[in-house]
């Protein structure tokens, strides 16, 4: 067999084609990675929106709740009024 020795010009063109293909392939891979991350960020954003909505719902519910210390104070005051009025309320 005889070895074919490529000319320097052919060798340079081959290297250039390999380099272009590698860079192009790399660009496609990077784009694919960014596209995949974009999708994951969209999902995460949707989940965070759901959590924020849930937090708002909890805040709205808590705004309508009487706190324990308020209930104890009101109970004490009602008992004083009942005692003064003469009402004997049995629990």
> Has residue 68 got a pLDDT over 70?
yes
Q: Which helix (H) or strand (E) holds 53?
A: helix 8-63
pLDDT in tens, 2-32: 567 767 877 777 777 776 677 888 888 889 8
Rounded to two decimals, what is the model's pTM?
Answer: 0.44
Question: What is the predicted pLDDT for the residue at 78?
Answer: 92
Task: Check: CB of residue 20 under 8 Å from CB of residue 26.
Answer: no
**pLDDT on residue 23:** 83
Alpha carbon of 36 to those of 22, 43, 46, 81: distances in Å? 21, 11, 16, 68
Distances (CA, A) of 38 to 26, 52, 77: 18, 21, 59
Please state, in angstroms and rounded to a whole number, the distance separating the CA atoms of residues 62 and 54.
12
Per domain, the residue ranges of the chain are 8-65
- Residue 64 is given by DSSP the state T
């Amino acid at each position: 067999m005889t070895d074919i020795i490529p000319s320097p010009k052919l060798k340079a063109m081959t290297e250039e084609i390999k380099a272009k293909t590698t860079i192009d392939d790399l660009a496609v891979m990077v784009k694919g990675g960014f596209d995949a991350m974009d999708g994951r960020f969209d999902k995460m954003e949707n989940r965070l929106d759901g959590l924020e909505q849930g937090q708002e719902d909890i805040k709205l519910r808590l705004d309508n709740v009487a706190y324990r210390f308020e209930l104890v104070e009101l109970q004490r005051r009602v008992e004083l009024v009942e005692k003064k009025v003469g009402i004997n309320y049995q629990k």
